[in-house]
Structure 1
Amino acid sequence: MATSDLGIGMIFLLQTIAGILGNFFLLYHYLFLYFTEWKLRSIDLILMHLTIANCLVILSRGISQMMASLGIKDFLNDIGCKLVFYFHRVGRNVSVDTTCLLSVFRVITISPRTSRWEELKVKVPKNMGTFNILCWTLNMMLNIMVPVYVTGKLSNKNITKKTNYGYCYALSHGKFTESLYISLVLFHDIFSFGLMVSASSFMVFILHRHKQRVQHIHRTSISSKTSPESRATQSILVLVSTFVSLCTLSTVIHIFLSLSNNPSLWLLNTTSLIAGCFPTVSPYILMSHDSRVSRHCFAQIRNTKSSKLIVNM
């Protein structure tokens, strides 16, 4: 194994471990809140689906690309390849849609209390479960053709338009179908990114106006009540900004990859690394801005210490 391949494999390994630990801890945090307090905020429900989608991305292509980079070849059969690429694509698209839904939902919750917004504030949280299920269903249908283009082993060696990922092959089935699929992916991503950018811009405007109003208020009690809302909104802005930057770069490289006849292994590894950045980083962004996570950690530590003390006595 070459030194460069070993280095890339170790980078994939570190990214996979960090992503799995972060997302599984965040998912455990939300499940803990649900089973102990029997209450989850609507925004927590969105974040739970985002975490599941991130886990799906990391457990599919992330682990597979890591094993291929470390020199393990042909560890997936034809069905395994189809499932890995299908779950990765569904997870990636659900991650896009839930992040978009998160930014739109946050705009609705912090919007001014007018009659038009007040109606949305009541209706949207009640239908959040439906929105999340619809998101998964639409993306599972949208990517139903992905397994057709993926195979484990090439039965026809004369195929010229193919992409070798080191463990699976992606084949071309004509310019028309390929152009149609790329157009659908572009429309989905551009629409979602445009909605996220618009919602984020509106959030920045609301936060700026709120800050100007707070500057005229000198009572600390009022300002402390509004600070959690501002912190939560700022975390979503950081999350959306990170997501848009990384996914825009990933989409551009993915399109270039789809149009290449024989892309290099370096380009394939770079694409997979960039695609895995957001699922790896996002749970740590969310945890750093959620005070309930730290309280949960300290509560678990105190309970552990108390149980050990009782056993020792």
Structure 2
Amino acid sequence: MPSQVFVRGMLYLSLTVVGVPGNTVVIVAFLLLLYQENRLLTADAIILHLACVNLLVVGVRCLLEMLASFHLADVFGDTGCKAVIFVYRTSRALSIWLTFLLSAYQCLSIAPPGSRWVSVRSFVSNYLSFVFLILWTLNTCMTTAAILFSFSSKNESVLANDAINVEFCHVNFPSKLSKQANGAAQVGRDVVPMALMTLASLIILVFLYKHSQQVKGLRSSGGCGAGGGSGGAEQRATKAVVTLVTLYVVLYGVDNGLWVYTLTVRKSMSSSLISDLRIFFSSLYAALSPLVIIVSNRKVNSRLRCLTQENPVVEKATSLSTM
């Protein structure tokens, strides 16, 4: 096996090993919460949806790329390439927009009572399923090019000068104009939520700074009990969202920079290195974001503790019953 293929396989293996269990843990934790409380808060529902989409990103793309790199399985025929690239691009785009939705909702949650933004937050909560449907429809429609122009790399008869090489598959655009138009649409789809979530995060950071200054003022004036309880939980939630947004902006910023390079450089199909780097950085967010959620979200932590504590109890009860 060539060293480049081995390194490629190991990189995708690392993403799979981290991303699949991490997102699965988050999904299971929130499903347990839904089962126990028969409802999910809006932010929790968004995080659950985000974890499901990130699991698709890692499971569909990284796992299959790893298996193909090590020659354990190969689904990258013409139909397989169309399906994998379509699902990957759709779920990747949804991951971006759901991160924006989470940051926007967290930003709305710190709006003062009586503000018009409170009504916007209530609208999002009441029609969250409709918001999810819009995001799915929008991003699915924008990735239809993957179905039309994706082919297996084995099918050299359809290879064109404007094709984008993604190792086992290539996206074969009919012309340079169609390639650049599709690329510009994808960049615009990513940049818009990036700008909006960055703005929302800046607002959250300003709020946290002002809140910390108020707490210091209360403490210096002899006040007690400031900054505890729900205020601490709210700050943890806002800091977690800011961390997710920062992670997104860094990784997807690199991803989109490489995508722009792919669109502008000539003979981009000659090597799959750029495409591999793009997939790695965008999938890295899907793999690392559940770790941020697991560390920062108390609801996830409490459900995980319950699961780990129940097993010894069950084993102990079983042993006593046999005596």
Q: Report SS of the residue matched to 2:103.
A: helix
Retained in 1: the 8 A contact 2:19–2:286?
yes
Cα distance change on mapping 1:303 and 1:74 into 2, 3 Å: closer
The 5-angstrom pairing of residues 110-259 of structure 1 reads 110-152=110-152, 153-154=154-155, 156=157, 159-218=160-219, 219-225=223-229, 226-259=231-264
Retained in 1: the 8 A contact 2:54–2:95?
yes
Distance in 2 (CA, whole Å) between partners of 1:115 and 1:270 is 44
- Per the alignment, residue 7 of structure 1 pairs with 7
Distance in 1 (CA, whole Å) between partners of 2:249 and 2:259 is 15
Scaled by the length of structure 1, the TM-score of the pair is: 0.94
| 1:310 matched to 2:303 | no
| 1:293 matched to 2:300 | yes
Measured against aligned partners, the alpha-carbon deviations of 1:96-155 in whole angstroms (never above 9, x if no partner) come to: 110111111011001222331232233221122211121111111121222111012425
State how many pairs are aligned.
313
Distance in 1 (CA, whole Å) between partners of 2:260 and 2:21 is 30
In structure 1, list runs of 5 or more residues that go unmatched.
Answer: none
Cα distance change on mapping 1:192 and 1:295 into 2, 3 Å: same
Scaled by the length of structure 2, the TM-score of the pair is: 0.91
Retained in 1: the 8 A contact 2:100–2:196?
yes
Shift of 1:263: 4.0
RMSD over equivalenced CA pairs, Å? 1.8
Measured against aligned partners, the alpha-carbon deviations of 1:247-305 in whole angstroms (never above 9, x if no partner) come to: 01101112222344234233232222112110000000011111122221221122211
Kindly provide the amino acid, as one letter, of the partner of residue 106 in structure 2: R
Measured against aligned partners, the alpha-carbon deviations of 1:40-66 in whole angstroms (never above 9, x if no partner) come to: 110011111111111111122212322
Q: Report SS of the residue matched to 1:113.
A: coil
Retained in 1: the 8 A contact 2:162–2:176?
no
Shift of 1:75: 3.6
Kindly provide the amino acid, as one letter, of the partner of residue 192 in structure 1: P
Retained in 2: the 8 A contact 1:74–1:167?
no
- Per the alignment, residue 33 of structure 2 pairs with 33
Cα distance change on mapping 1:268 and 1:117 into 2, 3 Å: closer
In structure 2, list runs of 5 or more residues that go unmatched.
Answer: none
Q: Report SS of the residue matched to 2:313.
A: helix
Kindly provide the amino acid, as one letter, of the partner of residue 223 in structure 1: G
Percent identical residues: 23
Distance in 1 (CA, whole Å) between partners of 2:208 and 2:151 is 49
Cα distance change on mapping 1:113 and 1:84 into 2, 3 Å: same
Shift of 1:190: 1.6
Cα distance change on mapping 1:115 and 1:10 into 2, 3 Å: closer
Cα distance change on mapping 1:172 and 1:120 into 2, 3 Å: closer
Q: Report SS of the residue matched to 1:173.
A: coil
Retained in 2: the 8 A contact 1:164–1:170?
yes
Cα distance change on mapping 1:283 and 1:146 into 2, 3 Å: same
Retained in 1: the 8 A contact 2:158–2:172?
no
Q: Report SS of the residue matched to 2:228.
A: helix
Kindly provide the amino acid, as one letter, of the partner of residue 246 in structure 1: L
Distance in 2 (CA, whole Å) between partners of 1:300 and 1:158 is 52
Shift of 1:2: 2.2
Cα distance change on mapping 1:206 and 1:157 into 2, 3 Å: closer
Shift of 1:179: 2.1
| 1:275 matched to 2:282 | yes
Measured against aligned partners, the alpha-carbon deviations of 1:9-61 in whole angstroms (never above 9, x if no partner) come to: 12211211110000011011111110122121100111111111111111222
| Larger mean Cα displacement after TM superposition, 118-127 or 232-241 | 118-127
Cα distance change on mapping 1:70 and 1:265 into 2, 3 Å: farther
